[in-house]
Structure 1
Amino acid sequence: MNQIINMVMRMVLRRLVNMGINKGIDVAAKRGKAGKELTPEQRRGAGEQSKRAKQAVRMSRRIGRF
């Protein structure tokens, strides 16, 4: 029973950490501004930056497994 509880807790924590990392990347890409404050050009650039940063995080996780 203890192993099942530990497994579920690890799954939940992993998901929460991933959500926190993604949210932090999005905030950093927007430089702390709200969506309404950004021009369409800045919004597009922020989307590209956050996409690249998330890809880099995924790649570093894969490399870290070996």
Structure 2
Amino acid sequence: MNQIINMVTRMVMRRLVNMGINKGIDVAAKRGQGGKELTSEQRQAAGKNAKRAKQAVRMSRRIGRF
């Protein structure tokens, strides 16, 4: 029974951590340049950078498993 509880706890915590990391990347990307409004080009670039950051996080997790 203890193993099942530990497994479920790990699954929930992993999901919460992943959501927190992704949310932080999104907030940092949308933040812009110190309160100035972003142009559409800057917003697109921020979205691409956020996507790359999320990919880098996923890759580092995979590498960390070994």
TM-score by length of 2: 0.83
Distance in 2, matches of 1:44 and 1:23, equals 17
Structure 1 counterpart of 2:12, one-letter code: V
Equivalent residue number for residue 31 of structure 1 = 31
What are the residue-to-residue correspondences of 1:41-52 with 2, within 5 Å?
Answer: 41-52=41-52
Q: Percentage identity across aligned positions?
A: 86
> How many residues get paired?
63
2:62 matched to 1:62?
yes
Q: CA deviation at 1:31?
A: 2.4
Gaps of 5+ in 2: none
Distance in 1, matches of 2:63 and 2:31, equals 28
Equivalent residue number for residue 2 of structure 2 = 2
Extract structure 1 runs of 4+ deviating beyond 2 A: none
Deviations 1:6-37 (A, max 9, x none): 1001000000000000000111112268xxx4
Structure 2 counterpart of 1:52, one-letter code: R
Q: CA deviation at 1:2?
A: 1.1
Q: CA deviation at 1:43?
A: 1.8
